[in-house]
Amino acid sequence: MISWHRTTACDIARAVRGREVTARAVLEGCIADIEARAAPLVAVTQLLAERARAEADAVDARIAAGEDPGPLAGVPYGVKDLFDVAGRPTTAGSRVYADAPSAPCDAKAVARLKAAGAVLVATLNMDEFAYGFATINAAYGTTRNPHDLARLAGGSSGGSAAVVAAGLMPLALGSDTNGSVRVPASLTGLYGLKPTHTALPLDGVFPFAESFDDVGPFTRSVEDMERVWAVLRGEPNVPLTAADLRVARLGGRFRVNADPDQLAAMDAIAGEGPLLEIPEIGRARSAAFLITAHEGGMLHRAMLAERAMDYDPQVRDRLIAGALLPETIVDERARSGRTISPGSRRCWRTPMWSWHRPRPVPPRASRILVSRSMAGCGPRARTLVFTPRRSRSWAFPRWPCL
């Protein structure tokens, strides 16, 4: 049995496609690592060993038959427990749906990864119904940061970040509404992508707030992110390039209370790119909170009437509060938040510094604006005083964030 601990997805796929190792051997090493090391992380909610072995054997069979096994051949991965996985209930991290009917088919993102040769190994812990930033889950426990088990991995996609950062698998899927990929990626030292809104398929993903929900992958390398992005987009053979890429820096609230060393690093990356400010961007944060709370509350209103006591108490209170928000307030906040978008268009009209690199950069774009995602590193498990104050405002106009 071979251990592929901390090997990248692209390296695994190259080895499997080149017949240096079988997909089944990679999988058995992955399962052994999970069984030996995953428990302290509280990141895995269900090990899907039987399904994974069938998928790995199918990859090996395609290779033996001389067929193309796909660009992610034999790559083990996990999914946040709000993606439909055929034959099991989608719990969204809650006891409320533990006895729900099994999903009839995989979520579209899962199906695309399977078609590309990736092997689904596990479902992963999350904040209940994705409503949180810490992955403190009343049903499954608190996910720990693999760099220091006394610290949090962030949320709500904390389980996805933890298994990738720990080297248990090179790739995991999460979802991001108001920071649920960006926060754990920042706290665990990973690449995490919130794409442009609806750029990746949400079919078969349990919703939170559809105005902001997006599928987002976690990887340990840019090369892996590029390949996963192409597969999830349904364009695995379309190369990504950095031709004519232009870079600018975000100013204003994005630099307030920022760490000087991190600012210096961003300024070094952006070179002489202009410092841009987005008018009234601070209003986006409160607008996003109110819209999210209301949409989430309305989504759960009927189930709360039936099974309120089965909800995590803190999540239940947030959802009830959101459902009780007057629609006039939510509509007003949505209108005020949308005033950001016209002003922010000047970012795309402003001349930026050309940045030519030979390496592809995901996702395809002609401009990149650089800012910090969060203020701080992973907090200790009982300290909940962190906030993605910068990237939440940035994502309100539905722009991507890596």
Active site residues: 80, 156, 180
**What is the Cα–Cα distance from 192 to 176, expressed in whole angstroms?**
10
Of 124, 129, 194, 190, the C-alpha closest to 159 is 124
d(C-alpha 121, C-alpha 80), whole Å? 12
Take residue 128 and report the two structure tokens written for it.
Answer: 């209940």
Task: Report whether 363 contacts 193 (CB < 8 A).
Answer: yes
Length of the chain: 402
Annotate 243-271 with DSSP letters as a single string. Answer: TT-EEEEE-GGGGTT--HHHHHHHHHHHT
The structure tokens 């005033």 sit at 339
Q: Are 361 and 245 in contact (CB under 8 A)?
A: yes
User: Which positions ≥6 away from 309 have C-beta within 8 Å?
Assistant: none
> Dihedral of the CA atoms 332, 298, 399, 130 (nearest 10)?
140
| End-to-end Cα distance, the chain | 35
Cβ pair 171, 118 in contact under 8 A = yes
CA angle centred on 373, ends 369 and 379, rounded to 5°: 170
- Neighbouring CB atoms inside 10 A of 382's CB total 9
Name every residue whose Cβ is closer than 8 Å to that of residue 243 and which is 6 or more positions away in sequence.
356
Phi and psi, residue 98, nearest 5°: -65, -30
380: β partners: 151
Measured from the Cβ of residue 148, the count of other Cβ atoms closer than 10 Å reads 12
